[in-house]
Structures are given as structure tokens and as C-alpha cells.
A and B are shown apart, each in its own frame.
Chain A
Amino acid sequence: MSTLVSVNNLQKSFGGLQAVNGLSFTVEAGDIYGFLGQNGAGKSTTIRMLLSLIRPDGGTIDMFGYRMPNHRNEILQQVGAIIERPDLYKYLSAYDNLEIFARLSGVKTTRKMLMEQLERVGLGHRAASPVKTFSQGMKQRLGIAIAMVHDPQLIILDEPTNGLDPQGIADMRQMIINLRKEHQKTVIVSSHLLHEIEQVATRMIIIDKGRKVVEGSTQELFDPANTLVELETTDAQAAVKIARSRWQQHLEPSADTFLFRLHARDIPQLARDMVELDIPIHNLSKRHSLESLFLEMTGK
């Protein structure tokens, strides 16, 4: 696998606010790279720096072996992007929007080719409709068509599920997976929702206050051996019972609930033992330690 994106010690501040602070990461060819962080963590600023929309104060960005911004055009020829909302020319049709951005990307367009692109994202029947009549999901799909029109190697999607209904979110998720599976694209996708990233990403980074908190493959980060299980009970004696049982060594410090760190495969046994110990179970829920970390970080 080759490295498509290499970011080293990236810095950016706005006035007194340090938006990105010494951020480094790499994206390999074929990755769906999840970019995770709460709102204001520095995701969009970083993505805008990757696309040369914002000038970094320091650090380097190398993409496809070129340095940004010295080789801006060579890099952007191989990148398609949607930043935050897919804002388009509302007074123009879907076809006109696609044609304009295809020409700006240096693509020699034909009607047949553009119509095929619109068909691919399910907008063939609305090609002549003005974008102002489109739902958010349709705009998002048109945005994907625009991002893909020049057949780039790397697709950057900044918060692509924002404003979508549940069906739209599911469609977008599938579309991202397909970009990698069927079109062999590398995708960088940002979100403030862990479960969104978890479901699509092959590798991911969590950032907070412009700094990297953790980076790695999704498989590593969501290792089932690192599962946290939360038990809720009204029995005050339960703590004593648990302390005497085999689950004592898995107990995590917690103020108001019983929290266990164990392998996911042990959860059914834990449930059985709780029943045997006659502990009334009001809730037994699984969450990953990464989720705990993220929730703690985001204060939710």
C-alpha cells in the first residue's frame, strides 16, 4: 500500500484560537479514513488545509508525492471533495452544475457521460430540475457525482451525513463503502459521530482541540478484548456479590454503575452469572472503550 496523504505537524490558528495544533497523520491508498472529533475539534480546518482553502501556519502536507500548496493543481486533479454541505448553484439544473464542475476539473464532457454520472447517483430523471427543488439527500448525491466526475483517486467528504434523514444516512454510508469496493477509491470521511465512522472506516483518527488523540486501524481500535459493559441494578448488596465473584478482576472504577472491562465473547457468561447471583438487572449494555473515550472527550 502506498501513502497518498502525509500530514506532518500541521498548525493553524485564527486570532488567539489554536484550531489545529501539531497534527500528523497518514492516509494509505485504499483506506476509508475516518476523521473523528466533536464540533470545533479542527476537522474541517484540517480538511480545508488539505484542499488549500486555508493556508496552514506551519507543518507540511504531502499528497500523491507532491507538496501542497506548491503543486496545488497536480494534487487537486486527483481529489474530489464535498466540504460540509454540498452547496451548488441553486438556480441551475443538476446537469448544468455537473457540467460546470466537470469542465472546471478539466474533463472533456459529453452529454452521455454526464447523464451516466447522474444515473449512477440516482438523479438521471431529475437532470433538468433546478437544484433549488432538491432535498438535502439529492444535493448530497449530486455533490458525490461532482466529486467523482473527474475520476479522482481520493474523495474527501466532510460531515457527509449532516442534515440527512435516516434513509439518506444509510444510503450515504453504502455509497462510501461502494466508492472503495467498486471504484477502488481512497476516501477521507469526517464526522462527529463515532458510530458513523465505525461502520465505514478501515482506519481512523480522533482529534480534539486540534490535536491527535488516537489513530489506528478500526480493527485495532475496536478490539473486542477492550469492551466495556455497564450494569445497572437497584440491589445495594450487588457490589458485595460481584466482589466475591469471578468478575471482580474485570471491575472498572465507576461512581454510580458497575462497569466491567472484558472481551465481548464473555458478555453472555456475565449475564448468566448475574442471574445466578440473584442480581436484578435493569440494564446490561455494551460499549467499546473507544466510545467511552470519545464520550468523555465530547462531554456527552
Chain B
Amino acid sequence: MVFTLLNIELYKIFRKPRTYIGFVAIAVIVVLIQLAMKADGPTWIKLMFSGMDDMFAIQDGNVLNGYFVCFLILNTLLMQVPLLVALVTGDMVAGEANLGTLRLLLTKPISRSQVLLAKFMAGLAYTFILLVWMAILSLFLSMALFGTSDLLVNKSYTIIQFYVDSEGDDVFWRYIAAFGFAYAALACVAALSFLLSVFAENSIGPIVSTMSIILVFTIISTMDLPLFTRINPFLFTSYMTSWKGLFNMAVDENGAAIRGSVYSWKALMEALAMLVGHILLFFGIALYAFRRKDILS
């Protein structure tokens, strides 16, 4: 029954016009950045690397390649995408309560747990599809428009070079892993807005609340104050940009970067575990509340 429900939920999601806002918004932002890079990319790169990019031996001298553009887009976009996710997942229960269809849905011979699980799975599926769309545009379209070459990443006054040469491509797999990690982060946002949706009777509340929580938590995560430092490890927002850890390499005893390595897999796995833990926690609370909720809408 859950799969029938999931099928129905996906059908409802993709018949709603608001679902496509996210896809259009991502396409517009990505294409605008790509156009800007086509027009003024070289100047911008000089500014970003303070002219130091010339010191690196880049294959074909193509610093402004698809991988670089994708890195730039992900840095820009991954903080905005939560809003696009919350637009749909914050509407999943509250929107039905507002429409009045929730009460009709819950008079059918299906358990509330099944209804909620199917809705949550549909929300996760939407988030996944949105991320795949983002990957197609930001990675594959950028690769097609700008080609592929070594990736230079400016990290804390250090420029790290990831190679794409005859020995292999040390960048592409990092992006696939980064998108996988970003999915966990966005799924966490989806779970939060879904949880808030269970308590609301219109979708504006959960969407605004989700973004407010992310904003407040992000401020706490970024301010280096003793109290906040103690809280940080427990906030899911502290792990939302941990995908950047994939673009940092381990070094050998001579201080040379080890090709194909990641600076700290352990930190990445811990971050992933925290995100998954938050997803389970948010869904668990949502399920507990929904099963006991009086449907008065």
C-alpha cells in the first residue's frame, strides 16, 4: 500500500505548479552564472586567485573549466536550495490540511503511519530529483560549455589543485560524492519542513519557519563564540556544507598532497551520520505527532 500511496503522492506533487518553481529557479541561476563566466570569467578568476592561478600548471591553461564553474555554482546555490525544497515539503501535510483533503484522505482505510511515510518518501524523492536537475545543469552543462581540466580551489589562503590528466580524473568522483552528501543535507531540510508541516494548517508557516531556523542556526554555526561553539556540534546546519571536505586533500609526510585522497573521511562520515540522525529524529517526531493529531481542518 505504501508504494500505491507513494505513487499517488508523486503524481500530486508533479501536478502542482509550485513544484516547478524550484526547477525554474535553479535553471535561471545556473545559466546566469554560466553566461557571466563566459563573458567575464577570466577577469573574475584573476581577482579570486589574486593572479596566483598563473603559478599552477593547468592542463591546456584552462582554469575556467566546467569543474571550476560547477564549484562556484554549488557554493552559490546550496544555501538557497533549502528554500526550494521547503516550498514543496513544507506543503505536503499543511497544504492538504489547508485544502481540506487531509480529512478525506484520512477517512480511507490506510493507517496514518503509511500516509505519513508515503508523503515523506515523496518529499525525499522530489528533493532527489531537484538535486539531479541541479547536477545536470551545474556539472554536466558546465562540462559541456567550458570543458574539463584541473580544478583549482581557494581554501583558507591555500590554493589546492585537483588533477585531470593522463593518470585519471581526480575531480569527477568528488562531485558525485559531493552531490550525494548535499542530498543528505537537503533531505535534512526536507525532514525539518515536513515536521513543521504536520503542526500547521497552511504551508506558509512551515516554509518560513524552516528558513528562519536555518538562518538562525547558520548564524550560530558561523559565529566563533564560546557558547555557540558548544552548541554547534548539535546543529544540523553545522554539517550542511561539509561536502566541501571532499575538495580538500590529505598530505604525505613531506607535506605534498596525496592524489585521490580526502583530508578527513572520518569528519565527513561523522557529518553524514549527524545529518541522517537529524532526518530520523525529525521524521520520528512528525510520525508521533501525526498519529495522535486531531484532524480539525
Contacts and interface: CB of A to CB of B under 8 A. Distances in A.
A87 B107 contact: no
B111 A89 contact: no
Nearest to A82: B104
A101 B104 contact: yes
A74 B292 CA distance: 19
Nearest to A73: B109
Chain A interface size band reads 20 to 34
A178 B190 CA distance: 47
Given A76-B107, A83-B107, A101-B108, A89 B295 contact: no
Contact of A104 (B17, B105, B294): B105
Nearest to B4: A103
Given A53-B103, A89-B99, A89-B101, A104 B108 contact: yes
B134 to A, nearest CB: 25
Contact of A87 (B16, B104, B111): B104
B103 to A, nearest CB: 5
Contacts of B225: none
A22 B11 CA distance: 43
Contacts of A77: 109
A96 B7 CA distance: 13
Contact of B99 (A54, A73, A90, A104): A90
B290 to A, nearest CB: 12
Given A75-B109, A83-B103, A106-B1, 15 more contacts: A53-B294, A53-B295, A54-B296, A55-B294, A74-B109, A76-B108, A83-B104, A86-B104, A88-B104, A90-B99, A91-B17, A100-B11, A101-B108, A104-B4, A104-B108
Interface string B1-39: 100110010011001110000000000000000000000
Interface string B187-223: 0000000000000000000000000000000000000
Contacts of B11: 100
Interface centre among A53, A91, A101, A105, by most B CB within 10 Å? A53
A126 interface: no
A72 B112 CA distance: 11
19 contacts: A48-B103, A48-B294, A48-B295, A52-B107, A54-B294, A54-B296, A55-B292, A55-B294, A81-B104, A83-B103, A83-B107, A87-B99, A87-B101, A87-B104, A89-B101, A96-B15, A100-B12, A101-B104, A104-B108
Interface in A223-238: none
B8 A104 contact: yes
B104 to A, nearest CB: 7
A53 B105 CA distance: 10
A88 B101 contact: yes
B5 A87 contact: no
Interface in A154-202: none
Interface of A is mostly: loop
A48 B99 CA distance: 17
A144 to B, nearest CB: 12
Interface in B89-104: 99-101, 103-104
A92 interface: yes
Given A53-B295, A55-B294, A100-B8, A79 B107 contact: yes
Interface of A: 48, 51-55, 72-77, 79, 81-92, 96, 100-101, 103-106, 146
A189 to B, nearest CB: 16
B13 to A, nearest CB: 11
B109 to A, nearest CB: 4
Q: Which 3 A-B pairs have the closest CB atoms?
A: A87-B100, A53-B295, A76-B109
A72 B111 contact: yes
B33 to A, nearest CB: 32
A150 to B, nearest CB: 9
A111 B105 CA distance: 21
B151 to A, nearest CB: 43
Nearest to B292: A55
B110 A104 contact: yes
Given A85-B100, A90-B99, A91-B15, A54 B105 contact: no
Contacts of A100: 8, 11-12
Contacts of A96: 15
